[in-house]
């Protein structure tokens, strides 16, 4: 019984070795071969550690490639596209209205900040009577908010001037 089991194991090992020996794969640059003689002639390297699956890519049809190259190119999706003149004028008008509304809001906010600022001496709030540093921090924040809002107003005015410049240049 032991000899039959040993014989079976030996035959299985021999079969695997034969199967492995016939499945040696060589890499020759970007191509693969299992022909040992050809591999020797070309100086190919033996590939170890697993099977290799090679799938050929699709070939470009020469006639279709010419047709594609000759076709007019369209603007890429999401890229700049041509807009009709009337539509562009409507967009510019909408942009101008939005900017003017933003300018009014920013100017109203600036007036409110200036009123609270009180020429650099805003009124002290409850806890600021006891803690002068809180008052100084709030005054510094107010000054920064006024500067930021002033910068916003200047930016909106520049954008409005740019829109006006484009409108006069396109006429």
First to last CA, the chain: 105
Please, what is the angle between helix 85-117 and helix 132-170, to 10°? 160
Three-class secondary structure of residue 72 per DSSP: coil
**12 pLDDT more than 60:** no
Give the Cα separation of 146 and 140 in Å (integer).
10
**10 pLDDT more than 70:** no
Whether the CB-CB separation of 39 and 28 falls below 8 Å is answered with yes
Give the Cα separation of 9 and 15 in Å (integer).
10
Q: What is the pLDDT of residue 13?
A: 43
Rg from Cα positions in the chain: 40
Q: What is the pLDDT of residue 63?
A: 57
Give the Cα separation of 133 and 136 in Å (integer).
5
Q: What is the pLDDT of residue 71?
A: 52
Structure tokens at 2: 């032991």
Say if residue 11 is exposed, middle or buried (CB neighbours under 10 Å; 0-12, 13-18, 19+).
exposed
pTM for the model: 0.48
Q: Mind listing the pLDDT tens digit for each residue in 83-132?
A: 788 888 888 899 999 999 999 999 999 999 999 999 888 898 888 889 99
Structure tokens at 22: 């016939």
- DSSP class per residue in 77-141: TTS-----HHHHHHHHHHHHHHHHHHHHHHHHHHHHHHHHHTTT-PPPPGGGGT-HHHHHHHHHH
At 72, give phi and psi (nearest 5°). -65, 145
Mean pLDDT of 44-48: 85
Query: Domain limits of the chain?
Result: 2-52, 85-170
Tokens 């700049």 sit on residue: 80
């Amino acid at each position: 019984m032991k000899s039959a089991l040993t014989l079976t194991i030996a035959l299985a090992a021999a079969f695997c070795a034969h199967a492995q020996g016939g499945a040696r794969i060589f890499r020759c640059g970007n191509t693969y071969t299992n022909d040992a003689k050809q591999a020797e002639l070309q100086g190919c390297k033996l590939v170890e550690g697993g099977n290799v699956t090679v799938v050929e890519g699709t070939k470009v049809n020469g006639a279709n490639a010419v047709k594609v190259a000759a076709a007019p190119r369209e603007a890429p999706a999401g890229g700049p596209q041509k807009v009709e003149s009337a539509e562009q004028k409507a967009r510019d008008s909408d942009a101008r209205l939005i900017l003017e509304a933003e300018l009014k809001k920013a100017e109203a906010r600036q007036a409110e900040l200036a009123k609270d600022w009180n020429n650099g001496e805003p009124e002290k709030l409850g806890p600021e009577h006891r803690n002068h540093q809180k008052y100084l921090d709030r005054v510094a924040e107010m000054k920064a908010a006024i500067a930021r809002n002033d910068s916003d107003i200047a930016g909106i005015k520049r954008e409005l001037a740019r829109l006006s410049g484009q409108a006069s240049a396109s006429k």
